[in-house]
A and B are shown apart, each in its own frame.
Chain A
Amino acid sequence: MTTRANITLIVLSTVFMATRSVGMAHAQEARLETRLADPARTQVNRMLDSARAADLPTEPLVDRALEGAAKGAPPELIVAAVGRLWDELRTARDALGTRASVGELTAGASALRAGASDTDLRELRARRGTQPLTVAAAVLADLVAAGVPSDTAIVAVLSLARAVDDAQYVAFRRNVERDIALGASPSAALGVRLDAARAELASADHAADRLGDRATRPDRKRKP
């Protein structure tokens, strides 16, 4: 192979690799190519770039843009919705920490939209300890969507945060929604179900205490 042929091969390889790299760098935004027209697509792409720079997940933002496109929303509405979600994700990330999962951030953003504050999210994070926050924050948003006033929903979710697991949170939300569907006012339904949950937890704690007490108490009958 001659020197000229070698150089040609090197130049062609460089061009190929550069093209491939550019394609990979924008692979994630490719879904918007056929779904969202310019200039809205360019604006959304800029927000995605800034999300990457801010270490925020981009997938929820892409999903929001795709949702607007699927529903035939006006481009300016799509851009505004993506921008609003961007802000909520950043607030959620600041409140929940850089180790929060995408699910936790998305649920946190929903809770913020439902009326929770960043302080509420920090309090929820603190009370849940090492448990994931996705379901707890989602239940808060779901209760507000069901008609429960946001401040009441926040108090309820926070009050249960230390004592219940994800399944109990979901059961609590379903019970409230069922009561509302049967005609109860959202606030009344929440109050009744919250009292019931607390009573159940107290009963379980009492039973556990009694079991623990019995387990540790010496069996006097067997003593000589």
Chain B
Amino acid sequence: MNEHDELIARVAETLKEPVRIDPRLDARVMAEIEAGRTAVPPTRRVLDWLTQARTIRLSPLGGLAIAAGVIVLLWTGTQLRAPSPAAEPSLAAAATLTTTVQFVLIAPDAQSVSVVGDFNDWDVSATMLREDQAPGVWAVTVPLSPGRYRYSFLVDGTTWLTDPLAAQAVADEFGRPNSVVTIGES
């Protein structure tokens, strides 16, 4: 055994001795890790997540479905923008320009009276007049935006009557004449 062999033997003996580790080492290491994690701000972590490259696997059917979805979305947007500028005024504009119009009909023998016209989709039961002011005096107020509206009174659900207090419509296309009310824009 020469000099080198003795050195190696001493080193080996030293390495064989058990290492004494501080039992609080694990806790300190974990505390350091936690401290490092919380030091990164959330926005940075989100940015890292967004900018991190990923591999997306997609089947041909899935790709077609996504393409169809995009096309439908674009088409929907086109349809929503489709109404012409001359079409219905915006609700906001209508709200600021509305005029309250009172419709009155003297009908002492009537059981019910409604006003039916362009402003309520010609729904015979949408706008009923009330006999509040005096017996036989039927009235209702309706907010109208600027425009020209044709209308008639419907008495007892059967008899169409024009408004004796209003102008009459020029055309009588359905055999029952109408009255007209015009709300100016100025």
| Chain A contacts to B: CB under 8 angstroms | 3, 6-7, 10-11, 13-14, 17-18, 20-21, 24-25, 31, 52, 55-60, 62-64, 66-71, 73, 77-78, 80-81, 84, 93, 98-103, 105-107, 110, 113-114, 131-132, 134-135, 138-139, 141-142, 144-146, 165-167, 170, 173, 177
Q: Are A13 and B69 in contact (CB under 8 A)?
A: yes
Q: Are A11 and B65 in contact (CB under 8 A)?
A: yes
Interface status of B186 (Cβ within 8 A of chain A): yes
In the complex, which residues of chain B have a beta carbon less than 8 angstroms from the beta carbon of A113?
A: 170-171
A31-B121, A55-B86, A142-B168 known, 8 other contacts, Cβ within 8 Å:
A7-B65, A63-B122, A80-B173, A101-B185, A102-B87, A132-B186, A145-B169, A167-B184
Q: Are B122 and A67 in contact (CB under 8 A)?
A: yes
Q: Name which residue of chain B comes closest to A105, CB basis.
A: B86
Choose one: B146, B160, B170; the contact of A103 (CB below 8 Å): B146
Cβ distance B75 to chain A, nearest Cβ, rounded Å: 6
Choose one: A21, A59, A173; the contact of B72 (CB below 8 Å): A21
Residues 72 to 128 of chain B near chain A (Cβ within 8 Å)? 72-73, 75-76, 79-80, 82-89, 116-118, 121-124
Task: Write the B3-44 contact mask toward A (1 if CB under 8 angstroms, else 0).
Answer: 000000000000000000000000000000000000000000
Cβ distance B182 to chain A, nearest Cβ, rounded Å: 4
Q: Are A57 and B86 in contact (CB under 8 A)?
A: yes
Question: How far is B161's CA from A139's CA once the two chains are assembled, in angstroms?
Answer: 22
Q: Are B84 and A56 in contact (CB under 8 A)?
A: yes
Q: Are B73 and A6 in contact (CB under 8 A)?
A: no
Question: How far is B122's CA from A217's CA once the two chains are assembled, in angstroms?
Answer: 61
Residues 123 to 167 of chain B near chain A (Cβ within 8 Å)? 123-124, 146-148, 150, 160, 167
In the complex, which residues of chain A have a beta carbon less than 8 angstroms from the beta carbon of B86?
A: 55-57, 93, 98, 100-102, 105
Q: Are A7 and B184 in contact (CB under 8 A)?
A: no
| Chain B contacts to A: CB under 8 angstroms | 57, 59, 61-62, 65-66, 68-69, 72-73, 75-76, 79-80, 82-89, 116-118, 121-124, 146-148, 150, 160, 167-171, 173-176, 178, 180, 182-186
Question: How far is B178's CA from A67's CA once the two chains are assembled, in angstroms?
Answer: 10
Q: Are B61 and A66 in contact (CB under 8 A)?
A: no
Interface of A is mostly: helix
Would A81 and B122 be within 8 Å (CB), given that A3-B59, A70-B116, A103-B147 are in contact? no
Q: Are B76 and A17 in contact (CB under 8 A)?
A: yes
Among A7, A20, A80, A105: residue with most chain B CB under 10 A: A7
Q: Are A59 and B69 in contact (CB under 8 A)?
A: no
Choose one: A24, A141, A166, A173; the contact of B79 (CB below 8 Å): A24
In the complex, which residues of chain B have a beta carbon less than 8 angstroms from the beta carbon of A21?
A: 72, 75-76, 79
Question: How far is B169's CA from A139's CA once the two chains are assembled, in angstroms?
Answer: 11
Q: Name which residue of chain A comes closest to B76, CB basis.
A: A21
Q: Are B118 and A55 in contact (CB under 8 A)?
A: no
Q: Are B182 and A52 in contact (CB under 8 A)?
A: no
Q: Are A107 and B65 in contact (CB under 8 A)?
A: no
In the complex, which residues of chain B have a beta carbon less than 8 angstroms from the beta carbon of A3?
A: 57, 59, 62
In the complex, which residues of chain A have a beta carbon less than 8 angstroms from the beta carbon of B146?
A: 101, 103, 132, 134
Cβ distance A46 to chain B, nearest Cβ, rounded Å: 16
Q: Name which residue of chain A comes closest to B65, CB basis.
A: A10
In the complex, which residues of chain A have a beta carbon less than 8 angstroms from the beta carbon of B82?
A: 25, 52
In the complex, which residues of chain A have a beta carbon less than 8 angstroms from the beta carbon of B83?
A: 52
| 5 A-B contact pairs sorted by A residue (CB < 8 Å) | A6-B62, A52-B83, A63-B121, A103-B146, A107-B147
